Amino acid sequence: EMVMTQSPATLSVSPGERATLSCRASQSVGYSLAWYQQKPGQAPRLLIHSASTRATGIPARFSGSGSETEFTLTISSLQSEDFAVYYCQQYNNWWTFGQGTKVEIK
Amino acid sequence: QVQLQESGPGLVKPSGTLSLTCAVSGASISSGNWWSWVRQPPGKGLEWVGEISHSESTNYKPSLESRITISVDKSKNQFSLKLSSVTAADTAMYYCATRHGTSFYWGRGTLVTVSS
């Protein structure tokens, strides 16, 4: 069964700083990788699909990279509304989610 | 724009069956998509539980396969989840979702609590 591992579990960042989140797949998923943002009481919000394509309406400060088993989500300059939990999801074979990275205010 | 809306009882007794429905608008459930259920226990991460295709093929999370059934009702443009023999561990927010084209669409979720 596919396993997605995100690191770190928690990332403490000051507003305006860059945040880099990692996601590793236990086997290759090609480019079938999405990133979501989730805030308390809300459904996940799609940020990135196909490893690096921003979803409609997503600000340019969010970028994704990687392929096969190693992926990265970068938030170039954190805004107050970006503090949330982020999940990666593979959709190459069924769906599998990482355990999440919480981005908190430093 | 694809829209999904979950509905069903918010409280289920232990050993009972959880039943949820997802109403789809903006797309036909008979199109070439897979229609999925994802759950999230309180304070925890997202867990894919299963999916059904337009041709009614299904895939289930292996650890739930003995208890889960996903079905479609094409006449109502909706799909459903049934989870039997529930325990407190099945308490979660349940989301329906789909991949349509290059994007993903999610419902707002419905909280199901397993308690007597």
Q: What is the pLDDT of residues B64-82, one digit of tens each?
A: 999 999 999 999 999 999 9
Interface test with B, best of A94, A96, A97, A99 (most B CBs within 10 A): A94
d(CA A25, CA A98) in angstroms, rounded, equals 9
Instruction: Flag if A95 and B36 touch (Cβ within 8 Å).
Output: yes
Residues A56-98: pLDDT tens digits?
999 999 999 999 999 999 999 999 999 999 999 999 999 999 9
Instruction: Flag if B103 and A46 touch (Cβ within 8 Å).
Output: yes
What is the band of B54 on the pLDDT scale with cuts at 50, 70, 90?
confident
pLDDT at A40 over 90: yes
d(CA B9, CA B23) in angstroms, rounded, equals 15
Q: Which of residues 47-106 of A touch B (CB under 8 A)?
A: 49-50, 53, 55-56, 87, 89, 91, 94-100
Among the partner residues B46, B99, B102, nearest to A87 by beta-carbon distance: B46
d(CA B101, CA A76) in angstroms, rounded, equals 28
Q: How many CB atoms lie within 10 A of CB B19?
A: 16
**B114, B12 in Cβ contact below 8 A?**
yes
**B60, B70 in Cβ contact below 8 A?**
yes
pLDDT at B32 over 90: no
Cα–Cα distance list, A105 to A23, B16, B26 (Å): 21, 42, 38
